[in-house]
């Protein structure tokens, strides 16, 4: 089980405008069984969680570890994780973070909160950030050893690096020209 991928769910929830049943189903596109369980009421629930997770990201960006932990604990209280062991034989046992009766949104939220709780306890409470690329600002999770991540994606990093390279070339050409 990849708990870091669960924590990345926080980033997905914060970065996506999950304002409709269709948007939630799109997020669950690789989980056909979950798509069928999305209900109209899930939109409001997910919007509330999304807003609270955005606060956690901002707390992390501001290096406010106590606020990250307090907000995460509050979310864990509001959305309790109900783990169950699942599998088909002795070699496939694995952990699910929501019971079989959980809604699709409960599963998403449980995975994200459980993953983030593990990241906080393993590598620190200020590992969520906002992309440094001009005009972006999307959230990201930094699990690098030296806390060096600054961009939400390789695309943003490349865009910034190419722009900086072009600016240096232009300066060099002016100086030599």
Over the chain (177 residues), the average pLDDT of each successive run of 10 is 80 94 92 84 95 97 98 96 84 83 89 94 94 96 90 93 85 72
Angle (CA) 29-54-108 rounded to 5° is 30
Tokens of 4: 């870091």
Assigned domain for 172 exists: no
Q: What is the largest CA-CA distance in the chain?
A: 72
Looking up residue 143, the CATH number of its domain turns out to be 1.10.3300.10
Assigned domain for 132 exists: yes
Predicted pLDDT at 48: 95
Query: 102: helix, coil or strand?
Result: coil
CB atoms within 10 A of CB 116: 28
Distance (Å) of CA 144 to CA 127, 148, 152: 9, 6, 13
How many folded domains does the chain comprise?
1
The domain containing residue 73 runs over which residues? 3-150
Assigned domain for 155 exists: no
Non-local (6+) Cβ contacts of 114 within 8 A are 3, 6, 81, 83, 97
Assigned domain for 164 exists: no
Predicted pLDDT at 169: 84
Assigned domain for 170 exists: no
24 within 8 A of 37, measured Cβ to Cβ: no
Assigned domain for 174 exists: no
């Amino acid at each position: 089980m990849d708990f870091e991928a669960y924590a990345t769910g926080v980033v997905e929830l914060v970065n996506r405008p999950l304002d409709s049943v269709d948007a939630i189903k799109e997020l669950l596109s690789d989980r056909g069984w979950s798509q069928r369980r999305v209900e109209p009421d899930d939109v409001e629930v997910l919007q509330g969680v999304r807003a609270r997770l955005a606060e956690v990201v901002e707390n992390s960006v501001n290096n406010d570890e106590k606020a990250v932990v307090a907000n995460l604990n509050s979310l864990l209280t509001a959305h309790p994780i109900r783990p169950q062991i699942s599998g088909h034989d002795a070699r496939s046992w694995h952990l699910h973070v929501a019971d079989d009766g959980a809604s699709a949104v409960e599963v998403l939220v449980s995975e994200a909160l459980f993953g983030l709780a593990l990241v906080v306890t393993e590598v620190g409470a200020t590992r969520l950030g906002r992309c440094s690329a001009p005009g972006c600002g999307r959230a990201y999770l930094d699990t690098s050893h030296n806390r060096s991540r600054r961009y939400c994606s390789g695309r943003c990093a490349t865009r910034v690096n190419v722009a900086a390279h072009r600016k240096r070339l232009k300066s060099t050409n002016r100086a030599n020209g």
